[in-house]
Structures are given as structure tokens and as C-alpha cells.
Amino acid sequence: VTGASFVVFNGALKTSSGFLAKSSIVEDGLMVQITPETMESLRQALRDKKDFKITCGKTDRGDIKEYVDICWVENEEKTNKG
């Protein structure tokens, strides 16, 4: 689990790169590089307020261990108001 001050979603990852998605720490935030198709799915999930999971790693590996989960919470009082 990684805490971050901000998250950047970059929808320019090419499918020919060999990656499903890539995540990296940038200063005190997180940058997630995803394909344009995944970006469209993410945008729709955000509009619909639905949870979304991004699987990171190489496309040819079966032992993928990194995920970026976007989760909606029911009680907004416990979230950061800043």
C-alpha cells in the first residue's frame, strides 16, 4: 500500500510497449501510465462512481503483483477534506 498526495493518470501508454500499465512514484505522488482504452474505462468508472482496478506489469507475465485500486467510500467524513 502506497500513500500519495496526488495521482496522475497518463493515458498515452502504447499497447506495443509490452505493459498492461506502469506505476511509478513521482515526488510525493503516484503516476500511472495506462493505455487509451483503459483510460476510457477509468473515466467511465469515475463518472459512474464505481470502483476500478488497474493491473500493472508486463503483458507476458503471469505473476503480476502490482495493482492500482480506485475505491469509493461510503462515509466521506473520514476522508481528507483538504
Distance in angstroms (rounded) separating the CA atoms of residues 75 and 71: 12
Q: Which structural domain range is residue 54 located in?
A: 6-70
Between 66 and 77, residue with greater pLDDT: 66
Whether residue 78 lies inside any domain: the answer is no
> pLDDT of 4-47, one tens digit each?
789 999 999 998 998 999 999 888 899 999 999 999 999 999 99
Q: Match 474505462 to its residue by C-alpha cell.
A: 41
Q: How would you classify the pairing of strands 7-10 and 29-34?
A: parallel
Neighbours of 9 (CB within 10 A): 18
Confidence of residue 2 (pLDDT cuts 50, 70, 90): low
Per-residue pLDDT tens over the stretch 58-73 = 888 777 678 999 998 8
Residue 58 in domain: yes
Which CATH number fits the domain that encloses residue 17?
Answer: 3.30.1360.220
